[in-house]
Amino acid sequence: MFFYSTAKPFCATTLLALGLTLTVGIAAAAAQQPSATAVATAKEVITAKGADGLYRPLVSGVIERTKIVLLQTNPMLSKDLNEVAAKLHADYATRSAELMTEVAKIYASRFTEQELKDALTFYKSPLGRKLVTEEPNILDQSMRTAQTWAEGLSQEIIAKIRVEMKKRGHDI
């Protein structure tokens, strides 16, 4: 969670889902090594569905969060830490590709090569592209709808609890 506060474009649920996906999937990926073709196709699927954008900012986020923590303990190091961070950004720019490969292996261990090819065909189709384009908005709207719904449900439950507690002689 070191990079959590710097990953502003992502909501907490996205990062949690990513963490759970990685945690659950690592054991399965280790048990069966997928073919290079399956991994390559899985990478294409990940890119086609727009999920590769989740991994790119992680390295930068870790570097920036580390810099911020170190600056809090010694603000006088600002110039040097900024220079070191800039160098690290350049040195570690390609590291997110490692994570992409590991995630692709997880996909490749869960789906056959043919299933991955079929998924890729779908995500490259007009409907698949529309899904990729619309899904973030649908998820945002769904979360807002769920939050509003839950607030209404909460008020309803509070009212029911108060009625039941009043029957028992408690006024809350």
Model confidence at 16, in pLDDT bands (50, 70, 90)?
very low
On whether the CB atoms of residues 36 and 94 are closer than 8 A, the answer is: no
Model confidence at 15, in pLDDT bands (50, 70, 90)?
very low
Q: What is the DSSP letter of 35?
A: -
> Per-residue pLDDT tens for 91-148?
998 899 999 999 999 999 999 999 999 999 999 999 999 999 999 999 999 999 999 9
> Hey, what are 158's tokens?
């509070």
pLDDT for 32 equals 66
User: What is the biggest distance separating any 2 CA atoms in the chain, rounded to whole angstroms?
Assistant: 69
E runs forming strands in 17-171: none
> Per-residue pLDDT tens for 50-83?
999 888 899 999 999 999 999 999 999 999 999 9
